[in-house]
């Protein structure tokens, strides 16, 4: 994937592109920015010991598709995204995704790694 002037819709992302390993999904409209970073997540030494933080490409895509559809899909131009039982305010304004050797690590807006049990919660609809 080559760098673009504007963020792209999440379905256009190539999560395996060797030029990019960090993805930021804006959950207000599900567009994304991407780049390559050489540093690991700040809690990498702890996180890498726990498999419930890592996801396959297929799991990641299914999760993003569910979030997009359940939060209003293409009919919703803008949204305030939350999962039931997690976060308040803008904790999930961005999903920060790291591609690692162990799989994809999904974090909240503040780079807090999210366990599968949190990610599998229902989308909160207000």
The β-bridge partners of 94 are 26
User: Does position 100 have pLDDT exceeding 90, yes or no?
Assistant: yes
User: Does position 87 have pLDDT exceeding 90, yes or no?
Assistant: no
Beta strands in the chain (DSSP E): 8-9, 22-26, 31-35, 54-55, 94-100, 103-107
Contacts of 43 (CB under 8 A, 6+ apart): 113
Dist CA 76 CA 38 (whole Å): 35
pLDDT tens digit string along 30-49?
999 999 999 999 999 999 99
């Amino acid at each position: 994937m080559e760098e673009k002037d504007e963020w792209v819709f999440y379905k256009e992302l190539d999560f395996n592109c060797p030029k990019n390993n960090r993805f930021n999904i804006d959950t207000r409209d599900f567009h994304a920015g991407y780049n390559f970073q050489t540093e690991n997540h700040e809690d990498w030494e702890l996180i890498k010991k726990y498999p419930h933080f890592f996801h396959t490409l297929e799991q990641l895509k299914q999760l993003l598709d569910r979030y997009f559809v359940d939060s209003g899909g293409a009919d919703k131009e803008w949204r305030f995204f939350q999962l039931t039982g997690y976060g308040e305010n803008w904790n999930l304004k961005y999903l920060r995704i790291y591609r690692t050797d162990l799989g994809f690590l999904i974090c909240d807006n503040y780079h807090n790694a999210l366990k599968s049990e949190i990610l599998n919660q229902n989308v909160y609809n207000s």
